[in-house]
């Protein structure tokens, strides 16, 4: 059983699309772009995605992207259910069982790591924002990881990842850390990325927030330049 730490609930945030980009509504006169939107505009991400689309074709790219999104949604829900001490299929009963098997296999690869390292859960799927960064997002999990409070982000992938490919993940988690501290006053230095990989063992990457503050600011500046 996972222990949950009682904390003051943060307000829910609504989202809206502005110029085709996802934003969070902070107040009547403030809307901040989502951190995932900002990360998606990194030059290397844009270039890599376009090269992949050119290689496989738009139809296949759309099919693979849709499949990956649906798989990720199911795996994330299973993880959230497990950490909430609930049955992993809670909130997934609308899907035929056979469509859940691939996601269940990916969840099973991560389950031992969750049981071993994660406890004292402060929040899951928590909406956050930063007036300093003028950025918002929804963090997967804030909990102790191997005894240290951490920003924990869950990713799904069809293949194993290399560390050098993950800078956008670390920047995203850095943003969540800054948002959490701004909203609660509680600092978090540890960033943890847990990747469930199809037909392969799960991967865990740990980083420190301070290494990614400047790259995050650079990414925000890049985005601001693009939308001006």
The structure's pTM equals 0.94
φ, ψ for residue 89, nearest 5 deg: -90, 5
* Confidence (pLDDT) at 113: 97
Q: What is the residue extent of each domain of the chain?
A: 14-71+104-227
Residues 41 and 33: their CA atoms lie apart, in Å, by 12
Find out if CATH 1.20.1300 is the number for domain 14-71+104-227: no
pLDDT value for 215? 97
Instruction: Say whether 45 sits in a helix, a strand or coil.
Output: helix
3-class secondary structure per residue, 170-202: HHHHHHHHHHHHHHHCCCCCEEEEEEEECCEEE
Residue 152 has what pLDDT?
98
Dist CA 133 CA 177 (whole Å): 12
pLDDT digit string (tens) for the chain, length 228 residues:
999 999 988 899 999 999 889 999 999 889 999 999 999 999 888 888 888 889 989 899 889 888 888 888 999 999 999 999 999 988 888 888 888 888 899 999 999 999 999 999 999 999 999 999 999 999 999 999 999 999 999 999 989 999 999 999 999 999 999 999 999 999 999 999 999 998 899 999 999 999 999 999 999 999 999 887
Which pLDDT does position 22 carry in this prediction? 94
């Amino acid at each position: 059983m996972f222990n949950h730490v009682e904390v003051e609930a943060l307000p829910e945030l609504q989202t809206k699309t502005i110029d085709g980009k996802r934003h969070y509504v902070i107040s009547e006169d403030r809307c901040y772009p989502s951190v995932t939107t900002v990360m998606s505009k990194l030059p290397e991400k844009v270039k890599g995605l376009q090269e992949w689309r050119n290689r496989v074709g738009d139809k296949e790219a759309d099919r693979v992207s849709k499949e990956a999104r649906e798989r990720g949604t199911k795996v994330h829900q299973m993880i959230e259910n497990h950490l909430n001490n609930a049955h992993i299929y809670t909130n997934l009963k609308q899907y035929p069982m056979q469509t859940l098997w691939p996601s269940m296999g990916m969840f099973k690869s991560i389950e031992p790591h969750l049981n071993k390292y994660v406890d004292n859960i402060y929040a899951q799927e928590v909406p956050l924002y930063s007036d300093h960064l003028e950025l918002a997002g929804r963090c997967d999990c804030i909990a102790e990881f191997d005894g240290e409070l951490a920003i924990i982000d869950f990713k799904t992938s069809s293949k194993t990842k290399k560390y050098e490919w993950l800078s956008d993940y670390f920047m995203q988690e850095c943003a969540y850390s800054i948002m959490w501290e701004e909203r609660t006053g509680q600092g978090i230095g540890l960033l943890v990325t847990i990747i469930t990989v199809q037909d392969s063992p799960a991967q865990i990457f740990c980083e420190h927030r301070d290494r990614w503050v400047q790259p995050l600011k650079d990414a925000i500046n890049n985005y601001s330049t693009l939308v001006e």
